[in-house]
Amino acid sequence: MKAKTPSELKKQTLLMNFPFTVSNEEKNNVLMDRFNKPYDYDKAYEQYYNLFRNAVNAGALVYILPSEGNYQDQVYVANLGAWLSHMPDTVLLSNFKSPPRVGEEFVGDKFFTSMGYKTIKCPYHWEGEADLKFVRDNIYIAPWGQRTCIESHTWMREKLNMNVISVQLKDPKVYHLDCAYFQMTEQKAAVSVCLFEPEEIKQLEKFVEIIEIPEN
């Protein structure tokens, strides 16, 4: 069968963005407070080249998101939205709370629709795949409390037939779920357990086997 979108290919497909616009001028998380020097762009570009080469050498098909606009965090494409595995023709676009990121979703909308995807923008604050981890079937893990509001979870359940397991992020250094949670397989996840409440961990254990990792 002919593939209609990159998600239907058997090989891994990745999205990247060259760091033309990356900057630390606007401090939008607490970890940036210690960075007062301007970006070393030569270093950033070289890091990108290395990452790109490694991805291509591993056999992945890599698409480059255009650097449209002047968004300092656009290079972090995991926040742009999320491809929904249970709705394979659909990309859910972010609704950014972080001021310097507001507007990135319009660049993403143009890109994804040109690739043949249907796009939907979440009406509530929610910041992409970095705040939404696919487990299997229609099961997803999602946080609330910092960049993403819990109303987005209710909307996803009601409008997109998603079984969303909610956890709260309280530590200001852990502003996205991917700072504390990594889905390893359909059955296993690496989790910094100390960052969540015991009842949240018990809820997660209903869906995944947890591999505990230290906070650091």
Rounded (5°) CA angle 7-53-48:
95
* Both tokens assigned to 9: 């290919």
**d(Cα 22, Cα 161) in Å, to the nearest integer?**
35
Closest CA to 69 of 41, 127, 37, 108: 108
Give the helix ranges, DSSP H, for 90-190.
104-114, 151-160
Pairing between β-strand 188-191 and β-strand 181-183 as defined by DSSP bridges? antiparallel
What are the pLDDT digits (tens) for 52-94? 999 999 999 999 999 999 999 999 999 999 999 999 999 999 9
pLDDT averaged over the chain? 94
What are the pLDDT digits (tens) for 175-203? 999 999 999 999 999 999 999 999 999 99
